[in-house]
Amino acid sequence: MGTEKAKLLCPKLTWESRPAKEKVCNGAAKILQSADHPIDLVSQVLDLAGFELDLISLDSSKARKRLLIVDDEWINRQILVGQLTSLPNAEEVIEWREAENGQEALALWRKWKPHLILMDISMPLLNGDEATRQIRLEQERDPVDPSPIIIAVTGMTKDNEHQALRVAGCDAVLSKSFQKNEFVALMKEHLGLQVHAGESAEV
């Protein structure tokens, strides 16, 4: 399959900082043609992208956490889900749902009250920073428990852009070219989860 066609099939796999970008995109396109199950797609894409699937487990002794994944691109949502499902007992300690835009995210936040929101920024109908502002505004008027941690998931790289997202109400920023250890670190810090890693894991 040609590189250009592959890029059309997965335009938001933005690995600009990685020399393996074309390999990831070509591989993802092939998998999109053959995989029957989303999780098969995710695990293969993550492998091609260079994510180390180390033996990691989460502490299941604490209350289950609710996590909302917001992105208008299915493949981007599945990459984040793939990071969660690569942790052996993730489903025992984290419950997650997905939203395709800021409007859906607002509706789910009002109804479901997630502990943490992974918020894409560039989306149709209502973008991520506006959805974040609306959540914070409604919180001020009517405080809810738990108050959600909102992590912007974005391709923005400039410090002033990240600062603008924090001003909008985001607690942290995760680059879309993130490494697995960065994702795990955010889960540890913001969900209060204890992560047990094998000797070769970098967390």
pLDDT band at 127 (very low <50, low <70, confident <90, very high): very high
Last residue of a domain, one of 12, 32, 49: 49
CA distances to 9, 27, 61, 73 from 6, in Å: 5, 8, 43, 16
Q: What is the span of the domain harbouring residue 24?
A: 3-49
* DSSP tag of 155: S
With tokens 């920073």, the residue in question is 129
Q: What is the CATH number of the domain that holds 73?
A: 3.40.50.2300
Q: Are residues 73 and 168 in the same domain?
A: yes
> pLDDT tens-digit profile of 143-195?
877 789 999 999 887 888 899 999 999 999 999 888 888 988 888 888 876 66
Separation between Cα atoms, residue 201 and residue 198, nearest integer Å: 5
Give the pLDDT mean for 98-106: 97
pLDDT at 177 (0 to 100): 87
Q: Are residues 74 and 41 in the same domain?
A: no
Pick the closest to residue 149 from 59, 72, 65, 60 (CA basis): 65
CA distances to 20, 123, 128, 137, 153 from 72, in Å: 24, 6, 10, 23, 12
Amino acid code (one letter) for 148:
P
pLDDT at 17 (0 to 100): 41
Whether residue 202 lies inside any domain: the answer is no
Q: Pick the residue with more confidence: 139 or 91? A: 139
> pLDDT tens-digit profile of 5-16?
444 444 444 444
Whether residue 150 lies inside any domain: the answer is yes
Whether residue 187 lies inside any domain: the answer is yes
| Whole-structure pTM value | 0.68
pLDDT band at 196 (very low <50, low <70, confident <90, very high): low
State how many domains the chain has. 2
Per-range mean pLDDT, top range of 106-110, 137-141, 178-182, 197-201: 106-110
Q: Are residues 84 and 148 in the same domain?
A: yes
Q: Are residues 23 and 109 in the same domain?
A: no
